[in-house]
Every structure is written in structure tokens, then in C-alpha cells.
């Protein structure tokens, strides 16, 4: 250990005499580490982290086979719950149900979710306050109740602990507040503010097997595996397809995290591969610079060897320099990654699921430490091997004039050019694909056309006839 400490002091003194070289290496390391760490933090948050729920890996989405769409009905959920025995709990959910809150102040549009009481068994979390929905709340004729989301309770009601038992008028329905659900309850990440039972707010749902307005989420039994549950679900969905006379109701299941991130998985993988190439390019560049510096220090290294410094000591000095500069660059890279994550979460937060959880946590820091060590060791590999090889000091003393040194430098330049070419080629292909997509004809003239979205109150416009009448009236007025 004392030898390494002494080598560290010698290396620090040497680098202080060449600050431009040290700063260049540190910034190159920092650029590579920052890019890879930032993207890995995104990949970790979106694809790798489990749901922050008890046994979150057992939560699955039930959807139509071959698609990511559920589009199922409440009677479908009831039948599947009775026939699939590998589920501990299964619930229908409509996560984007508009509710109009009428009170002493101005009316407000609330983002609600209609769920069965089974949904909270799927989640497996206790309430933040009060209670959650119970089976009796699902029955026809039950007194309407709602559960507030923790975010809404804190922001709109200032975390009032006396909210339990108060009433809210939502889309013409007077409902009692019975509880506050914890923040992690919203696994759909759709900004749900109020959880409500289905029957009081959508009385048509229990008797409409063809409505297909619901998603399904389930929790597997402790002894169930996805393969066994999938086989059990296949038998039940075959019966469902025959019963509903709808072949589209043959179902499959997917772990919830994989299901919600399916659209971004490939893109994040390509992005991680691209920044990994960038880090390799930076490492090759640092290795070339280190070799140039080692050959320029040939006379010094030869003199040290003649005075008794063995090749192991010279190699240790090369490794110490690489690790010192790499460590400083790694720290700067992690700091830069933490800064970069803030605007990335703001820009893409609504389009990329689970991105809000991206942060520089212990896993990301350990990853950054690992790639810093690997990058430092790789960048010092070629110079260390040149020192280790036979007649090394004689060649180093020639200060880079030997043909072998020139061949090594040429090889490193070729590697850098190859990696840069791969990056440029990938960027060119992405740009070409984007250009081709932008030129696909829409089938109509888009000039002068404006698109608008109108959200109707669910209570008064839950059926097709009043919806059609409302939109026809809007068209006539416009």
C-alpha cells in the first residue's frame, strides 16, 4: 500500500508539470462517463427497477394476445377472476376517467380512475389515511365512495387529516371520501387524483360485456409462475372468446414493467449502445495520448530503469496515472450526469413511463465506478504493455521513433476512426429513417386542418347516443 501511495505522490507531481495534458484526459473521461451514466440512469429507472410495491414482480398486465391493448369489459374481468386460479387478485381499471368536481369554488376537472376493490389487493399497499375500497363498494346500489390520491390530498387539500367522511360532488354523484391512497398506488403513472368504484360512476359497465373500455391488472399467486399463469389464462380466454363470440378476446399476460415500457425499450437500448461506443472512442483517444506521453518520457523512464526501478514499478506508475485521472473524470462525469437528468426528466417525463424515478442512486454510482475503473485500465493497457515487453526501455528511450510505436499509434487511430465511423453511420441511418417517416404521405392535405380534443363529463355522456348528439351539436356550431 505504501508503494502505491508513494507512486500517487510522484504521479501528482508529474501531472502538475503538465496541466494541459491532465485537463484534457480528465475532460475526455468526464464526457464519456457523463454520457454513459446519464443513459444508464434512464435505463435503470425505466427498464430495470422493480415496482416500488410488495412483490412488485408478480404484478402483470392482462391484454389481448399479440397487442399491447386491453380493451376489455367489466364482465370479462369478473369471468376471468372466477376462472383463472393463478391470480391472487385481478381488477378492471379505467385510468383516465374525467370527473367534474362541483363545490363552493369554480368547477374543476379531476383526473379519476374507475377501479374494482380488487385493484388495491393487486397493489398491496395500506392506505395513507382512512381505508381503501371494499367489495361492498363494488355492488350495485352501494353508497358512492371515493379514495383520494396522496398527491391530490396534499396539493388540493393541504393534507387535511379531517378529510375522511367529507363529501364531494363528482359528475353529479355525491360521494363520501373514505381514504387516501399512497403515492405508489398509481402504477399507470397517469396522474390519477381520485380512485372511484366502477358501478356508481359507470352503472352501464356491469351489464355491458361488449363495452371494452377497461384495462386489466393482476397479481400472481406466490406459487404461480408467468408460464403457468399464461397457460391458465389461455384456457379461460378461449372460453371467453367463444362466450363473447369475439376472437379478439384471446388473452396474454406480461409483467407490468415490461408491458408499460414496451414502446421505449428498443430506443433506450440503442441509446445505451451509442453512448457505450462514445466511451470506447474516448478510451481509445486517451490510450493514444498516454502512449504518446510515455514515448516522450522515454529517456526519463529509461533512466529510472537504469537506476533500479523495475518494469513492475514503471507499469504501476502508468496504472496509477490512469486511475487518478480517470477517478477525477469519473467524479465530474457523475456530477454532470446528475445535472443532465433534470432537464431530461422535464422534457421527456410525460412521454417515457417511469422516467420520473430516474436519479443518481447507489446502483448508478456503482455502475459509474465500474465503468470508470474499466475505462482507466483499458486506456493504460497499451502503454503498460509497451513497458512490459522486452527491450522496452531501449525503445522508450528513442522517444517514439521506433517503428513499433508508430504502428501502435496507427492502430489506435484506426480504432478511433472505426468507432467514430460507427457512431456517424448510426446517426446517419437514424436521420435517414426520420426523414423517410416525415415524407410518408398522410392521404390528405394537412394544410389548414386543426385538431382538437373535447372531453365530455363521464356521468352525463357515458353512452354512445348522448356522445354522438354532443359532438354533432359542436360540429353544427362550428
Question: In sequence order, what DSSP letters do the residues of 363-403 get, joined into one string?
Answer: HHHHHHHHHHHHHHHHHHHHHHHHHHSTTHHHHHHTTT-SH
- Give yes or no for residue 203 having a pLDDT over 50: yes
**DSSP3 helix / strand / coil % (the chain, rounded to 5):** 60, 15, 25
Higher pLDDT, 87 or 458: 87
Look at residues 152, 240, 241 and name the one whose alpha carbon lies nearest to residue 190: 152
Residue 375 sits at φ, ψ, to 5 deg, of -65, -40
Residue 300 confidence (pLDDT): 54
| ∠ CA 26-29-34, rounded to 5° | 120
Of the ranges 238-252, 369-383, 389-403, the best mean pLDDT one = 238-252
Higher pLDDT, 37 or 399: 37
Q: How confident is the model at residue 19 (pLDDT cuts 50, 70, 90)?
A: confident
Residue 453 confidence (pLDDT): 67
Mean pLDDT over 320-330 rounds to 85
Rounded CA-CA distance 327/373 in Å is 8
Mean pLDDT over 389-416 rounds to 53
Rounded CA-CA distance 400/295 in Å is 5
User: Which are the contacts of 82, defined by CB distance < 8 A and separation ≥ 6?
Assistant: none
Lowest pLDDT segment from 64-68, 141-145, 233-237: 64-68
Instruction: Determine the longest span between alpha carbons in the chain, in angstroms.
Output: 97
Of the ranges 175-179, 223-227, 279-283, 302-306, the best mean pLDDT one = 175-179
Residue 96 sits at φ, ψ, to 5 deg, of -130, 65
In the chain, the N- to C-terminal Cα span, in Å, equals: 81
Query: Other C-beta atoms within 10 Å of 64: how many?
Result: 19
C-alpha cell at 262: 414496451
Rounded CA-CA distance 147/110 in Å is 13
C-alpha cell at 133: 375500497
Higher pLDDT, 280 or 306: 280
Mean pLDDT, rounded, of the chain: 81
Rounded CA-CA distance 346/246 in Å is 42
Q: How confident is the model at residue 224 (pLDDT cuts 50, 70, 90)?
A: very high
Rounded CA-CA distance 18/244 in Å is 78
C-alpha cell at 161: 387529516
Residue 212 confidence (pLDDT): 85
- Give yes or no for residue 197 having a pLDDT over 70: yes
Of the ranges 265-279, 283-297, 305-319, the best mean pLDDT one = 265-279
Higher pLDDT, 430 or 107: 107
- Give yes or no for residue 302 having a pLDDT over 80: no
Amino acid at each position: 500500500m505504501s508503494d502505491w501511495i508513494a507512486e500517487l505522490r510522484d504521479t501528482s507531481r508529474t501531472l502538475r508539470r503538465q496541466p494541459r495534458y491532465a485537463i484534457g484526459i480528465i475532460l475526455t473521461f468526464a464526457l464519456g462517463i457523463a454520457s454513459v451514466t446519464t443513459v444508464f440512469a434512464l435505463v435503470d429507472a425505466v427498464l430495470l427497477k422493480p415496482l416500488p410495491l410488495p412483490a412488485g414482480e408478480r404484478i402483470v398486465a392482462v391484454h389481448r394476445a399479440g397487442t399491447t391493448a386491453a380493451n376489455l369489459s367489466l364482465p370479462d374481468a369478473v369471468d376471468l377472476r372466477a376462472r383463472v386460479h393463478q391470480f391472487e387478485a385481478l381488477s378492471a381499471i379505467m385510468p383516465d376517467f374525467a370527473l367534474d368536481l362541483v363545490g363552493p369554488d369554480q368547477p374543476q376537472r379531476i383526473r379519476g380512475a374507475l377501479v374494482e376493490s380488487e385493484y388495491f389487493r393487486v397493489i398491496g399497499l395500506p392506505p395513507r389515511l382512512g381505508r381503501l375500497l371494499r367489495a361492498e363498494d363494488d355492488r350495485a346500489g352501494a353508497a358512492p365512495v371515493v379514495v383520494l390520491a396522496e398527491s391530490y390530498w396534499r396539493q388540493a387539500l393541504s393534507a387535511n387529516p379531517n378529510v375522511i367522511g367529507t363529501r364531494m360532488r363528482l359528475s353529479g354523484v355525491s360521494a363520501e371520501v373514505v381514504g387516501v391512497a399512497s403515492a405508489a398506488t398509481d402504477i399507470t403513472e397517469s396522474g390519477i387524483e381520485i380512485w372511484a368504484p366502477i358501478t356508481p360512476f359507470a352503472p352501464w359497465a356491469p351489464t355491458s360485456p361488449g363495452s371494452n373500455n377497461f384495462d386489466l391488472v393482476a397479481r400472481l399467486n406466490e406459487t404461480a409462475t408467468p408460464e403457468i399463469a399464461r397457460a391458465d389464462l389461455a384456457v379461460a380466454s378461449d372460453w371467453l372468446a367463444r362466450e363473447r363470440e369475439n376472437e379478439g378476446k384471446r388473452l396474454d399476460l406480461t409483467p407490468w414493467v415490461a408491458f408499460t415500457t414496451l414502446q421505449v425499450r428498443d430506443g433506450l437500448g440503442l441509446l445505451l449502445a451509442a453512448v457505450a461506443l462514445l466511451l470506447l472512442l474516448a478510451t481509445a483517444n486517451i490510450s493514444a495520448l498516454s502512449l504518446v506521453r510515455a514515448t516522450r518520457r522515454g529517456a526519463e523512464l529509461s533512466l529510472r530503469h537504469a537506476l533500479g526501478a523495475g518494469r513492475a514499478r514503471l507499469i504501476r506508475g502508468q496504472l496509477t496515472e490512469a486511475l487518478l485521472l480517470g477517478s477525477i473524470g469519473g467524479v465530474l462525469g457523475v456530477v454532470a450526469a446528475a445535472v443532465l437528468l433534470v432537464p431530461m426528466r422535464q422534457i421527456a417525463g410525460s412521454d417515457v413511463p417511469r422516467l420520473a424515478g430516474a436519479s443518481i442512486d447507489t446502483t448508478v454510482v456503482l455502475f459509474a465506478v465500474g465503468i470508470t475503473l474499466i475505462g482507466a485500465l483499458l486506456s493504460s493497457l497499451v502503454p503498460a504493455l509497451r513497458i512490459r515487453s522486452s527491450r522496452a526501455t531501449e525503445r522508450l528511450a528513442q522517444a517514439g521513433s521506433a517503428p513499433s510505436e508508430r504502428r501502435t499509434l496507427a492502430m489506435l487511430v484506426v480504432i478511433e476512426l472505426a468507432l467514430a465511423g460507427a457512431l456517424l453511420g448510426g446517426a446517419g441511418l437514424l436521420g435517414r429513417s426520420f426523414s423517410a417517416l416525415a415524407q410518408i404521405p398522410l392521404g390528405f392535405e394537412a394544410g389548414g386542418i386543426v385538431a382538437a380534443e373535447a372531453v365530455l363529463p363521464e356521468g352525463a355522456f357515458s353512452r354512445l347516443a348522448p356522445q354522438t348528439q354532443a359532438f354533432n351539436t359542436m360540429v353544427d356550431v362550428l
